Each structure stands twice: as structure tokens, then as C-alpha cells.
Structure 1
Amino acid sequence: MKRRKFFKNTVKGALGASIIPLTSFSDISAQSSNNINNTEAEKPYRNTDPKQWHQMGTGKKPRPDRRKTLTYDVAVIGGGAAGMCAAISAARNGAKVVLVQDRPVLGGNSSSEIRVHLNGVNHLKNGLPERETGIIEEILLHNRFHNPQDAYPVWDHILYDFITREKNLDVKLNTSAIRAIMSDDGKIKAAYCWQSTTETEFTIEADLFIDCSGDGLLGATAGALYRTGREASSEFNEKYAPEKEDGWQMGSTVLLGSKDMGRPMPFEAPHFTIKYDAEKSHKGRQLKPFELGFWWVELGSDNDIIGEFEDNKHKLLGYAYGVWDYMKNSGDFPETENYALDWVSSLPGKRESRRFIGDYILCEPDMLGNKQFSDAVAFGGWSLDEHNPGGIENLSEPPSYFHQYFEEPYQIPFRSLYSKNVPNLLFAGRNISQTHIALSSSRIMATCALEGQAVGTAAALCAKKNVLPRELGQKNITELQEQLLRDDAFIPYRPANDKNNLVKKAKLIFASSTSSGDPKLLNDGWSRDYNGKDHHWQSEGLPAQVQIEWDERQSISKIEIKCDTNVKRNIMLRRDSLENDVYTTQIPKELLKSLDAEARVNGKWIKVGTIEKNRTRLIKFYFEKIETSAIRINLKETYGNKNCRLFEARCYS
């Protein structure tokens, strides 16, 4: 469909793209702000008898009083990719953190409940990824080592294993953050939460709150400004936006999976099935391959997409089974004869609802124009991807109207990741401060994960410095960016320049052998080859050595290096276990497996650390502080490459 016709046909004007504070909830929160542990907590118990429970065996007659007040530096709401990375980064940077997740599993749309691929910057115009590093890469590598069978139920526990091993971090599953409790100065004082499995009320107090829940109920009940719907093209000069603002929000999808059973498998549709009318369906609604279901079994809304969720879920299940019924019983697809459904999602994967308002609203021209932000903290690069208003109920139109691909990743500013009017609220994920068209790209999970790492790090710095996010962004943005880069995040066009990195003072960096790049590039601030320029040193065979020399002795207790994981190839979990030049199910063969580090003390080399089974791109050696004039890194083996490639070397006192 041509763009002008698309705009003309989809101008609905039902709600308009407007700024909405959820006043009814914030009023309730404000009323309860001075009496958290009494008025609010007592409500469920007002009509109960303290002795109504006769506990057999002990003869006691207690009332089940399951109410707890917990206090943290940082509270993260939502356990998807954004929330997990926010919680981990805050904890690693010294904050006491809680992660609140309303589902029994972590992972959000990528979990076994929904099974969406954890996409990121998968396909630039050159056809290659510019894959995300940092915490989200650690998680994906953890999965490659422990889940080679690509099982989604195992993926759930890969995530659980990864996050529960983190110090300073508590996890509350099956727990919903129902509303914010506000203080008199307009900040969130606590999140009132309900854990369904234990019938426990949690009042979670914190200095900073990060809403990564997607729908953003905590932020909404705090009175944070937000938008829903599509902006008019004139507001932000967006060529892909409609001429007039309207209430349209991108829809949710029910996915299914099928399996070849090796024998004919008849199918009888359930009573709630909605017939699929193939004759009216646009040719863009492709039915092959069918094994992984159809992303375009989608329903959006131009009204209250959150309130309509259960009704839309019922319809989506009907539509999903209707498409499968057509595949199995129309006679047009004999190749499905031996196939049977082996999984259908009962929880639709969401794409859009609330978008909070920050100090900056990210928009389409920022992305297409590759705007450079002084406060950039993350990046994206999935194509602008506007879906069909009406979804599967608008069969005659294509399921997606366009893919506007990017030449290179765009930057995401910190000002889009905290609330304009609730001073201690940050957010990451699809609910950040952006337009509808911008969301069509940035909603992708790995991009959300980068935002999560950024706001988690920011929250920890806020807690450490006793400042709020806006002040941090105005006065300490360089410190935030440098910490993100040290932790292996990547910010396009923002090289690292950490003044505390002692390698910056080195007299000489050299290597035992070089096949490409230069050892000096380990000190140039770039952690990957970018825009056609080398920022690496690569050995000629293994074993190999890299040595760093200083004129004067240095007090050193930390050595950090960044090795190669081939960011031009994706390692995400996919339901089809795709293996080609862009995707792999294998551990990256470029990853460094074994190495050790030595320091020269009084003319003798002393070993300060050994790693035999490395599993991360960012490799750390921490040891008792020593006085040394040289460091030597001995590289022994990769997971398959004959050479080893390094991008960065750092040392700290």
C-alpha cells in the first residue's frame, strides 16, 4: 500500500495522541502516602476474625498476617529484558535492589509463555547485525552454554539462574505492583504489591523506582505523564506518522508452534475458533513457513488497549486456531498432514500501550537523521516497522506497511528514560518517552535491554550521590556514560575516556604476534570495529601475549579486557534454531576460552589470575593491590578460532 493511502485510510481520531495523568489512582496514592503500614495494609483484614484460623496440630488460632514492608535503594518493576538488565546493573554498581515480576517466569515476551525472538539490531541496510553487548549479551551467552537444545522452558530457568546469583538483588515473582504510594514532595515513596502465590502484601520502599513493566501501571498510578496513540505527522515532522493524531496502538499477537509427528494428524477446531477468510487476505499474510505460527495474528486498539486485553486475547486465540484450521483442513496445504500443534501461547505478546513523557521525546527524525545526543546511553537499529491498524481484522491490508531500514544504529538519550514530572521515576522498554513511530523500532527487546542497563546504572549512581535522575543527567552524564562503557555497553560515536583507567598512562603496548589491527588500539576507547574502522588487535596464532608497560610503578588491583564475540552475528534463542551467516546456535568460536594475567614486580613475573573456561566478552581479574611496572596477558585458547582478537585493555588501582 502506498504511504499516502495508508495515512488516509488509518486516520481515526478516536482518542488522539494526548498526555494523560492517571489522576484517579494518583489521588488514592496521595491519600495513603502518610499511612502506608496502617490504613492501606489493614484493608483486606477489616472483616476477619483474628481467631478464625484453627491450625490443626498446634491448636493455635492465629490470623494469617502476611504483610511485609521492605526497603531498598532501587525497586525495578517488570522482569522482561529491560527489567532484568536494569536490576542487574543497579546491583552490580552497588545498590540494594528488588525486582518485582508479575509472572512466574522472567523474560517477558521472550519467555516460554510467549516465545518471541529476542531481537535487537538484527538487520541494518547492509544485512548485518550490530549486536548488543553488555548484560544482555552475557545472558545470551549463558543460554548458549547451558541450553544448546534451544528449549524455551529451560530458557526460563537460564534467566532465573542468571539473575538470582546476583548479589544485592532480591527477586519477587508472581508479584504485581498495584499502585504507587506517593510522598508529599511528589516522589514515589513505595510500591504497594500483591504476591498471589503466598497471599502476601508487600509495601516496597525505595529511593528510586524503575518501571520496566511495559504497560507502566506503577508510573501511571504515580501520576506520571504519558501518551497513547499516534502523533500527527506535523508534531515531530514524522513522514511515517498519519496526517492527524489518533488513538491507534500496535497490537498483541498469539503465537503457536507445530511439530511433524511422522503420521497423519487430523485436526478438529475448538468451539471458539474464528474462521480465517483466505480469499479476503492480503498476499503479504504469508502462510509458509507455518511451523512457528504467524506473527500477524495480531489485534491492536484505538481505545483502551490495556482494558481490552482479555477480550482481545479470547479473539486472538480464535483467530490463531482459525488460521491453523485453514492450514489443516482447507486441502490447500497437504504438507501439513503429519503436523500437529504442540504449543499455543495463552498469553499474547504485547507491543504498545503507555508511553511515558520524559524531558525529551525520541522521534522518527532523530532516528533517521542519526541525531547525536550529548546524553546518549543506549542504541537501537531495528527497522521502523508500522503494523496494520486492525491487525487480523483488517485482512485485505498487509500485516506490516513498511520496513524503513537504517544505515547504522541510532542513539537513545538519557532524557527519554526518566519522568518529566515524577522526580524519582525512571523507565526502560516500550514505555519510554518516544513517539508511536519511534516505538515501531525501539520496542525490540534487546534495545529495551540496553535502556534497562542504562537506567539501572543511573539509579545506582543516583543512590550513591543522593541525587535524582534529572540532576544526574545534567551534572554527571559523563560518569554515567563512562560506567556503561566500562561495563561493556556500546554507545555509537561515544568512545570511552575513563581517567581512572591506568592504561591511559601506559608508555608502551605491544604483542608477541599480530595478524591484524594494532596493540595500541586496545587503548583507543572503542570496544568494537565500527563504521569500517579497526579498533582491535588480533594475534597470529595461539598462544599469544599482550604486554602493557609504564615508566613508573602503578598500584593495580584490577585488569579488565574485552575480547571478541563477533557482534556481526546473532546468538539469540530462536524457535527454529536457525544457523547461517547472520544467526548461530553455537558458542561464538571467536570467544576467548582460557587465559591468565601476570604482573612484573621487582623484575619478576607474578601470576595474578587464571581463567580456564571464560564465558563472557568482558573478562575481569581482581586481586590484592600490587605495585607493578608491567602487565602481561597470556592468551591460550578460543572456542574454535585459531587467532584471538581483543578490543580493549584496562587497569585500575
Structure 2
Amino acid sequence: MKRRKFFTTTAAGIGAGTLAATNAQGAVPTNEKGERLTDKWTQVGTGTTGLPNRKKKMTVDVAVIGGGMSGISAAVAAARNGAKTVLVQDRPVLGGNASSEMRVTVNGANSRKRPSRETGIIEEILIENRYYNQQESYPVWDHVLYDYVTRQPNLELMLNTQAVEAIMDGKRIQSAVCWQSTSETEFVITAKEFVDCSGDGLLAACAGAEYRTGREGRDEFGESFAPEKPDGWTMGDTILMMTKKMDKPVPFRPPSYAIPFDHVKAAQTGKHSRIVKQVVEGFWWVEVGSDFDIIADREVNRHKLMAYFYGIWDYVKNSGDFPEAENIALDWIGSIPGRRESRRFMGDHILTQVDIQENRHFEDAVAYGGWGFDEHCPGGIENLDDPPSFFYGRVPYVYEIPYRSLYSRNISNLQFAGRNVSVTHTALSSTRIIATCSMMGQAAGTAAAICVQKGITPRTLAANHINELQEQLLRDDVFIPNRPASDEKDLARKADGIFASSTISGDAKLLIDGISRDEPETVHHWESDGLNAEIHLEWERPVQVAAVELKGDTNIGRNMQMYKQPDKGAEQIKDVPPELVKNLTCEARVQGKWVEVAAVEDNMTRLVKMKFNPVKATAIRLKLKETWGHKTIKLFEVRCYESA
């Protein structure tokens, strides 16, 4: 459908009154191309005038809307799996809530008692940040993300660009109309698959995708943590801060709009009361929710958040109750609220509190979560009668997230990842965590590439090709609970023998058991006795090999995220994980002679992919030379493939 016809036939739709008003009384006159006739670019150097080029078209395989951590993961996954991809981000930096604009920690399912940190694309990014940004600067983190995205083949990045309207072909999105504010340019992006990772989901909403806001009632899904009756409340937005320690006392004078903090009442709501416990990184409970439309209330709530925050800081600095704050000065205060919840788009499955609590198994699982049920209270800091969070407790395991919760039930080529996926309000209190959202992003992006390759819809993929999606995710170092890898194309699984030069724990045969991490009380690794170790794979008859892949050790029991408060990260290693293999070579035995086919130096990823010209080999030998500091070398998986 042509764009002009679309806007004519949807005059009652959102945006129609502005984007299609070329013939309305009083509107700026345009030509048949939609260009403004009154806008004539004058270049004084040459004296020439003309219509500026402010409308462009783009055609891709996959369009990912939203450049937060889930959007980055989706776009990179789609591009790596062969799809021509564009990533559209409405801010000047990447990262969303995790960016320097908001500075939310990239938390996930991990805890000290349960080694379950996310791997795959999100881990690659966190390791690079440790390598390039040991000073833990959030502005530098922005540029680590920028470098990571812009160097990916098949991927184009568009910053300062928002998808504002969908051009539809029945129940399918044909194109996204996008506005790039810095270049005053309208882009019409045509794609085969769309992945909305923008959080609020404007494109998906414009396309007519079914969604919910507010809280489900207790009886609809049997959720004990839900309110007795459904209502419109969403978890609130938050602003954070960072401080600087000075060498002398620093006065604080609040702005005129500061709202005084009722610290007495705020401290009376029990275990999770709003008590100032530190004066370094801000207070997550400075939040404001909404009982109907948190998107429309954004600017009003932003002003309120700043006013409430400055009232709290005035109390910290000027009440005399915090002598430790005397030499502390504000260094950064967020101007853009971090959002927890708005639209939740409905898929073929709605993940619920019961699904999570009962640890239900899904045949189409593609990601996992592990954060507790952390529902922030309605009204936020404007509701001091309730605690800031109804933290209903942790989950003692990692739970599965099904692929059917990542695509639209009524728009055929639309997927989503992040806080806008198909979950109930109560389930969202766990799934909204950034690293969990990133895993969903990698799953959705990978699925989008497969849909493009096969010419199918996400629903068809879920019904007929879910095994292929899961196998690709497992190959790309995503862990899926209760789903071992069993890739029929993996030649390592068909090897007649696999052995190591030395072993102090595990077994070399575990490298092909399909599980690429240790589980509670179950070992799935091989570990060498010292450095300069070797792994051999042997075949009785020659096999063609063109790619060897392995998964090393990054100690998934250790946190790796960047904190605003230095004490929280005191136990972390501010560098590449020392356990990770750093330098290695790969040799193939061809006609009885060993030939080096690949070498890797200064490796920084758990997943190491080595591609080379195909050889007929009876054996592969990995020479593992050194780590980033550990005295032994540990691997969890080895794979071999006939083609790269």
C-alpha cells in the first residue's frame, strides 16, 4: 500500500491528522512528492536554491526499533545470522535505561548462590566494557556500545530517530515511518520482519498490535500477588544520581521547585521503607507511577521526579542527620526518567506469576529469567502509605521464557523483546530486568533472521521450526534451561574419540554433552592441569571441516555489571575474566600431517568461532596456550562444522 493512500484511509488513526494534512486549510503547500514548496534551501556561496532532500527510503530484511540492551541484542543477532538489519534508536546514545542518560545497572538472573549469569551477546558487551572502560565511566560505556554495534556487518545504526507510524498491508507491517530529528529527515523503512524493542512500543501500537496496560486482577490467571480487582496502575519511572567526594564541605541549595521530603512517614512502611541508606548513587524509590497513561504523563512525572529528588537531597545535605554527606556534592542527576512499564504486547502465550513460580517447562523456551517478584508500588513516592516495593521474594531457580511470548498474536511479522513482551503485570516485575530483556532480544533477532530466510511468520516458526531456533541460540552461547544442544551438523558429536593432554577436573568427553555450563551439582566442563594444554578430536575416516567453535570459562558465578556505587562492585574484577582463554591455535591433521588452520590472539569472548578454508581431516587439535591470568584452562564445549 502506498504511503499516501495509507494515511488517507486511516484518517482517524494516530498521526493521520498531522502527517496527511498536505491539503488541509492553512497547511504548508507541498508538491506531489510531499516536499514543502515554501522550504527553499539557499546556499549563499553559490547563490543556488532548491528543495532540501528530507525524505528517504530504505529497504532491509529486519528492522529493530529501540536501541536499548534488548534492541542491541536483537539487531546484532539478526545481522550475524545473515539478515540485512537496521537498528532505529530515538536517543543520541545506545543502551536505553542502561545508558549514561539513565544509568540503570545491567542486572540479571545471577546471584552468588546460583551461578546463572547470562551469556551470549550481553556477556560479550559486558566483557568489552571491562576491557575498554575500567574506570567505569557511563559516557565511555555509551561509546563501547556504539563501537560494538557499528562494527557489526549487515547492521546499520540510526540514532536520534523514532518510528512514529506504521504503514500496513492487512495484518502485516509493510513499512515504518521514522523521523530523524537531527537531520530533519523522514525515513520510510520497508522490512520483512519488525522487532519492537522500544519499551513503550509506539510502532507496534500504531500497527494495531494487541496490548495491555495496568494490572490484571487476581482471578484472571490465578496470581496471588495481583490485586483483587484489575486496575490501571503501572510501575513508576525513576531518576537516579551520582555524587562526587570533595576535599571540603559543599553547601546545597535546592531549586525553587523542590518538594520537601516527609522522611518520618517514609520510614514507617516496614522492611522496604524509603530510608536513605547511602549518599552516593541515588535512590531507586524516587519514582512516580500512573493509574491510566504513564506515557502521556511522562513530562509531568519527569518534573515531579526532579522535584521529589531535590527535596530528598535537601534533607540529606541540610537536616544534619547525614554528617557523612558534608563533603559530598552532586555530580550528575538524571534528566530522563528510567521506565519500568507501559504497554505489554500480547503474544500466543502470556507468561504469568504461576508459570514462573511453578517453574513450568516450555517446549519453545528461548530465554530465562531469575529475578524475584519485585513489583514497585502504585504511586511511587506519592504513596508513602505503602512500601516502595512489594518484593514478594526470590525465585530459587532460573525459569523458562517461551518464544510464543515474543511475537504478536495479531500482527503477522512483528516481534518484541524487553519490558513490552507478552507477560502479566506481576510476571513483568521479574522479567523486566535488563539482562533478561537482552536474552529475549537475542532470541527475537535470531528468530527474525530465520523468518526472513525461510519466508515464514514467527507463529509458523514457533509451530514448525522451534528446534532450529533453539539450536542456533545454543550455538551462539545462549543458555536455555532444560534444553541441551543436539545439533546434527556438529561433527564433534560424531567424533570417534576426544581426549585432552591433561585433566584436573571434569572430562574432555563433557565438551560434547550439549550443556555449556556447570549446573548445580553437575559438571559439564573439562579443565587442564596448567597452561599450554591440548584437546584432540579424532575421526576414523576423514571429514571436511571449515569451522571450529569452543566455549571457554568466564566464571558465570561472578557479577560483571557496572555499578554507580563503587562499594557494590568491590569484589568484581575490572578486566577481562582471568579464567578466559586468551591465545590459542587450531590444527587439522590432513593426510597424516598437522596443519595450522586458525589462530586467535587476545580473545575476549566466551564463544570463540574459528573459520578457515575447508580441509579433509582425520583429527582436530586445539592448542590452548594461555588465559587472561588464570593458571588453568577450562572449556565447556567444542564444535566442528563442515562449512563456515
Place the TM-score, normalised by the shorter chain, in its bin.
Answer: over 0.9
Alignment-mate amino acid for residue 198 of structure 1: S
Which deviates the most, 365-374 or 397-406?
A: 397-406
Tell me the equivalent position of 2:173. 188
Aligned to 1:142: 128
- 3-state SS, counterpart of residue 555 of structure 2: coil
Q: Which residue of 1 aligns with 2:159?
A: 173
By how many angstroms is 1:60 displaced?
Answer: 1.1
What's the CA shift for 1:494? 0.3
The whole-number CA distance in structure 2 between the counterparts of 1:28 and 1:187 is 18
Deviation at residue 331 of structure 1 after TM alignment:
1.1
Is 2:313 the partner of 1:313?
no
Write the distance in 1 (CA, Å) between the matches of 2:615 and 2:514.
25
**Structure 1 residue matching 2:203: 3-state secondary structure:** helix
Q: Tell me which of 470, 491, 496 is aligned to 1:507.
A: 496
Secondary structure of 1:353's aligned partner: coil
Amino acid at match of 2:503: T
| 1:3 aligned partner | none
Shift of 1:272: 1.1
Contact conserved, 2:517 with 2:525, CA < 8 A, in 1? yes
Correspondence list, 1:187-586, <5 A: 187-283=172-268, 284-578=273-567, 583-586=572-575
How far apart are residue 55 of structure 1 and its match? 1.7
Residues 540-559 of structure 1 show CA distances to partners (whole Å, capped at 9, x for unaligned) of: 11111010001110000000
Amino acid aligned to 2:532: P
Partner Cα separation in structure 1 for residue 39 and residue 107 of structure 2: 54
Q: Does 1:596 align with 2:610?
A: no
Task: Tell whether 2:45 aligns with 1:57.
Answer: yes
Task: Give the corresponding residue for 1:100.
Answer: 88
- 1:292 partner SS: coil
- Map 1:12-23 onto structure 2 (within 5 A): none
C-alpha separation in 1, matches of 2:638 and 2:424? 39
The one-letter amino acid of 2:487's match is D
Aligned-pair CA distance for 1:578: 4.5
Q: Using structure 2 for the length normalisation, give the TM-score.
A: 0.94
1:612: which partner in 2?
Answer: 601
Gaps of 5+ in 2: 1-5, 31-35
How far apart in 2 are the matches of 1:611 and 1:537? 20
- Does the Cα contact within 8 Å between 2:588 and 2:619 map onto a contact in 1? yes
Alpha carbons of structure 1 residues 582 and 259: separation in structure 2 relative to 1, 3 Å: closer
- What's the counterpart of residue 4 of structure 1? none
The CA deviation at 1:504 is 1.2
| Residue 257 (structure 1) shift | 1.3
Q: Secondary structure at the match of 1:54?
A: strand
- 2:69 aligns with 81
The code of the aligned residue for 1:120 comes to G
CA deviation digits over 1:430-480, x for unaligned, max 9?
000000000000000100000000010000000000001000111100000
Distance 1:42 1:378, change over 3 A: farther
> 2: distance between equivalents of 1:76 and 1:29?
26
Partner AA of 1:281 in structure 2:
A
Equivalent residue for 2:29?
Answer: 46
TM-aligned CA deviation for residue 577 of structure 1: 3.7
Q: CA deviation at 1:308?
A: 0.3
**Structure 1: distance between partners of 2:533 and 2:634:** 10
Cα drift, residue 54 of structure 1? 2.5
Equivalent residue letter for 1:65: N
Secondary structure, in 3 states, of the residue corresponding to 1:439? Answer: helix
What corresponds to 1:18 in structure 2?
Answer: none
1:161 corresponds to 2:144: no
CA–CA separation in structure 2 for the residues paired with 1:538 and 1:257: 42
The one-letter code sitting in structure 2 at the alignment partner of 1:64 is: P
Instruction: Provide TM-score, normalisation by structure 1.
Output: 0.93
Q: Corresponding residue for 1:12?
A: none
**Displacement of 1:50:** 5.6
Give the distance between the partners of 2:219 and 2:572, measured in 1 at CA. 39
Give the 3 Å change call, closer, same or farther, for CA 498–140 of structure 1 in structure 2.
same
Aligned to 1:130: 116
Unaligned runs of 5+ in 1: 1-25
Matches of 2:355 and 2:187, distance apart in 1: 41
Aligned-partner Cα distance in 2 for 1:46–1:645: 68
- Between the aligned partners of 1:190 and 1:472, the Cα distance in structure 2 is 22
Kept after mapping to 2: 8 A contact 1:32/1:40: no
Question: What is the root-mean-square deviation of aligned Cα atoms in Å?
Answer: 1.8
Following superposition, the deviation at residue 585 of structure 1 comes to 2.7
SS in 2 for 1:242: coil
Aligned length: 621
Q: Provide the C-alpha distance between the structure 2 equivalents of 1:494 and 1:27, rounded to a whole number of angstroms.
A: 46
Counterpart Cα distance in 2 of 1:50 and 1:341: 47
> Any conservation in 1 of the 2:180–2:186 contact (CA below 8 Å)?
yes
Please say if residues 90 and 459 of structure 1, whose CA atoms lie closer than 8 Å, have aligned partners that are also in contact: yes
Amino acid in structure 2 at the alignment position of 1:179: E
